[in-house]
A and B are shown apart, each in its own frame.
Chain A
């Protein structure tokens, strides 16, 4: 659709297009890989602090912390992506994200190795993630982008953090 508009009205279309097609991502690293999340979903960036463990949940759900009175779960992305476990240090970073699940906004924190940069990516430079079949799950990767020769995997926050059973409360209230 936009391409059509561009051909009809190249002059004005170019500027409008560049604004509307520029997306901003916060990039962070996990091991040697680099990931990006939509910057509008990032609420704040904090340093790691001890969590209260939640019993009987997957090990990548590290526990909950008190974020100014709200109880916020912390998810370890390295463990979520099965990239092995790393020691938490004072330099370990927690990115607090706003997640929209079933029309409700939830606040969740993800543990990453380090936050790199805010990057601008043109929409047309985003490639779809290749399908690796069952070998690698790519369902929460919206696309791949090349930034300065590095590959950044762009994450779909909502899909990534709809943990098993997060929407259970709706089911249980209907039981």
Chain B
């Protein structure tokens, strides 16, 4: 081939994975019994394009596999087959298998043939079920009709000495630009060919449309020819003809199938074709066991390399806005440079105008560039219906999963890093949270448990909540467990919140029985660490018998922050705008001291602690030390409210967050640094850190 196909692989894989996701969600949404034809169509189209793509790129294992799926779906689409739960489950399993196959092809690894053939078998038996279903005996159990497979397994050792092929083109075959004669000629090239043409379908000369193909053939090729060689010839017409091929073995094998080929539908054809493919694949797998081991480390490398070049799909609308903005920016720029060439003082207003335009455009441009990195959280959420489906089937629980706020947009990095912790949390809710149906009924709760995944914006944060109406956390049990594991002292006094936080300690698990779903005691600590690495925070609320809610607070983006500059002595600090509730002057009579030292002030009936930034940061040149003369900024961080005592508020601006750790180190009370308009560095305050500092 002259064109290097490898350059298109990346796109193919991306599209295929998207297609698989679409298939998966389509299958999960399908309402058994009352199926929307459009749903099946969507699934079918996805399968079809994966088949087409993989065929083009020569990933025959994938296209063969998808073909079987497609056949099954095609029957469902035409209403020839009822959509049953087992069928959907088989299809879901196949989607997974296909995903594995594609992944290992992409990473240059080996496909686990035994898994693939197991899935293919399941599909085949599902297909065969259809015949029975049509006859009225809708048996759920796959009939013991595995028979065609068994002789095929024996057949693996037999040598093929020829093929019987029934080839009946559809009427429109010629219109798709295919020529049966060419195919026959190619077949003849493989071995000695005997043809029998069936003229029965040919209409009278008067009715004959010369562009329609009314002929069909029975062909017989002699020679040791592989199935792939035959397939290759009919590759392009697969969808435009009924094709049945049957190998002829050297030893006398009973050739059952072929008499009925006249009535054979495409599906049955596949059933008979499958056993042919299977042994060859297994042979391949067997032969390559040696190199497979040697290749294992290579696969890892390939994976690592693949991760490096990540790409992002952007809505064209976003790109159009971006281009428009750049256009406006260029116009403003040329206006300004024109103004600068012959500048006179009377043009000052024009200049100011132009500069403010420039400012607006830059800001808008920045916003839309940031927007490109924003993805809806549904990218993470979409995998959960499947998880809930699988786990509920496995455990025999009845669970409804509700997704709320899927369109909330988050930075791409956050989305990617969020998915693992979330899977863990949802799994925990499904496995440990929701009780078995009997238990629920006994407790007076609805039989079906509800797990809710909700995402929303609050301030500069995105909040993600995983809540269930399950059994909740048992405080006494948590405590006893922690003491038993030596994580806390037996007489330790813990608040409700602190007790719940015990589950984030390494090596802590309350599940009495380990399951393969969760409960190994590695996890919640990892979850918390991952969330904290993203600059976020995780919280648990729970009520015994009613359920629990885990909320994750994350910064919207890791790069930009709406900041409020504050003056403290000679220095300027930045406060995240989202954490500020209000700022006010306090009156003397509202200030109180706790034990003579800690200062608090009364705000709408609530006593809030005051943190003097001058003192905890030792800032020189404070304007005043009297609380009544400065300003109190009321802030909230991780559930803690307090008043920061500062000299003055300066201005609001978007700041680009720079890491202090890159060249320096973490400093308590500081979350990062930024560069101000005059080129100097300002530090960004970290409210929880400040609270910790002041309590020391």
A interface residues (Cβ-Cβ under 8 A, vs B): 50-57, 63-66, 69-73, 106-108, 163, 165-169, 172-175
Contact = CB atoms under 8 A, between A and B. Distances in A.
B668 A56 contact: yes
B533 interface: yes
Contacts, number: 79
Interface stretch (B138-146, B257-265, B653-661): B653-661
Contact of B660 (A64, A66, A172): A64
A72 B661 contact: no
Interface string B521-552: 00000000100010000000000000000000
Contacts of B659: 71
A46 to B, nearest CB: 13
Contacts of B669: 55-56
A22 to B, nearest CB: 31
Given A52-B681, A55-B616, A168 B571 contact: no
- The CB with the most chain A CB atoms within 10 A, among B617, B664, B681, B682, is that of B664
A102 B151 CA distance: 63
Interchain residue pairs A-B with the least CB separation, the first 3: A55-B617, A52-B681, A73-B664
B667 interface: yes
A165 B664 CA distance: 9
Contacts of B309: none
A54 B683 contact: yes
Contacts of B664: 54, 64, 71-73, 106, 108, 166
B627 interface: no
A169 B533 CA distance: 10
B681 A56 contact: no
B679 interface: yes
22 contacts: A52-B682, A53-B571, A54-B683, A55-B616, A55-B618, A55-B667, A56-B669, A56-B693, A64-B660, A64-B673, A66-B675, A71-B658, A71-B662, A71-B664, A72-B664, A106-B663, A108-B663, A165-B665, A169-B665, A169-B666, A173-B529, A174-B529
Contacts of A167: 665
B273 interface: no
B670 interface: yes
Nearest to A61: B664
Given A71-B662, A71-B673, A64 B681 contact: yes
B619 interface: yes
Nearest to A51: B681
A174 B571 CA distance: 33
Most chain A CB inside 10 Å of its own CB: which residue of B571, B618, B669, B680: B680
A53 B662 CA distance: 17
A70 B674 CA distance: 9
Contact of A66 (B533, B571, B617, B680): B680
A133 to B, nearest CB: 30
B615 to A, nearest CB: 10
Nearest to B676: A66
Given A65-B681, A169-B661, A172-B666, 16 more contacts: A52-B673, A52-B680, A52-B683, A55-B618, A55-B669, A55-B670, A66-B675, A70-B663, A71-B659, A71-B660, A71-B663, A165-B665, A166-B664, A169-B665, A173-B533, A174-B529
A165 B666 CA distance: 8
B577 to A, nearest CB: 20
Interface in B637-696: 658-670, 673, 675, 679-683, 693
Nearest to A109: B663
B662 A56 contact: no
A72 B663 contact: yes
A94 B666 CA distance: 23
A69 B661 contact: no
Nearest to A57: B667
A70 B669 CA distance: 20
Contact of A69 (B617, B665, B675, B682): B675
Contacts of B533: 173
